[in-house]
Amino acid sequence: MPHPESKQTSPLPGVPTQRGWAPLALAGLVFLASLLLTYWAWNSARRDVVADLGAQFDYRARDLANSTGRRMAVYEQVLRGTRGFMRGNVAISRAEFAEYFRIQNLQEHFPGIEALGIASIIPPRQVAEHQAAVRAQGFPDYTTHPDTSLGLITSITHIEPFAGRNLRAFGFDMYGEPTRRAAMIAARDSGAAAVRARWCWCRKAAMPSRAS
């Protein structure tokens, strides 16, 4: 005996039973909307973070440039003071230069300054005479270095503090090194402080036109 078909009823009174793919499609639309909303929120936050990082980088870069400029201005003032002390004369004793350096107390007030020196021009025909004169002052191993054939020789004849690795600079020909030579030429031609790369800071007074 056949059973009569059972009638499907809605689980909630008054709400018709949904058939087919409608519930799945609705769930997919909700998921897609949520996904798009999440992506928009993430992308917006990412843009905010990138903009904030860019602003911070620009601020730090400007601050670093300003602080470097101020520090270089201080270093230039130190060179101005040295030029005033020398008054265009390189024929000063090492004791006088050491006393001037001690009085300035640069290592305490300006710890970034590793050394203060004077480079003198030596005509090629007077190199042997110059070396003999310096050796006679108590430096038997003194020599100008490195050997170059540029037709112009300079030598760091005064440097303070005269100790440690600064001793290697004694007699060094800065003009024989391209980067330092560029700074020395710029300082000579302009009469102002000049800097090339990160480790050569020269002023006209540091490379006087007289031979020592």
Region at 7 (left for phi over 0; alpha for psi -120 to 50; beta for the rest): beta
What was the pLDDT predicted at 149?
Answer: 65
What was the pLDDT predicted at 136?
Answer: 92
What was the pLDDT predicted at 45?
Answer: 85
Q: What is the C-alpha to C-alpha distance for residues 49 and 32, in angstroms, rounded to an integer?
A: 26
**Cα separations (Å) of 99 from 15, 19, 57, 95, 103?**
102, 101, 44, 6, 6
Helix 94-104 vs helix 22-86: crossing angle, to nearest 10? 130
Question: Cβ distance 198 to 206 under 8 Å?
Answer: no
Coil, strand or helix at 30: helix
What was the pLDDT predicted at 50?
Answer: 87
pLDDT in tens, the chain (212 residues): 455 554 544 554 554 555 567 777 777 788 888 888 888 888 888 888 888 888 888 888 898 888 888 888 888 888 888 888 888 777 788 889 999 999 888 888 887 788 898 888 888 888 889 999 999 999 999 988 887 666 788 899 999 999 888 999 999 998 888 888 888 888 888 877 777 655 444 554 443 333 33
Token duo for residue 26: 């609705």
Token duo for residue 185: 């030429």
Place of tokens 């391209």: 178
- pTM of the predicted model as reported, rounded to 2 decimal places: 0.62
Residue type, 122: I
What was the pLDDT predicted at 202?
Answer: 53
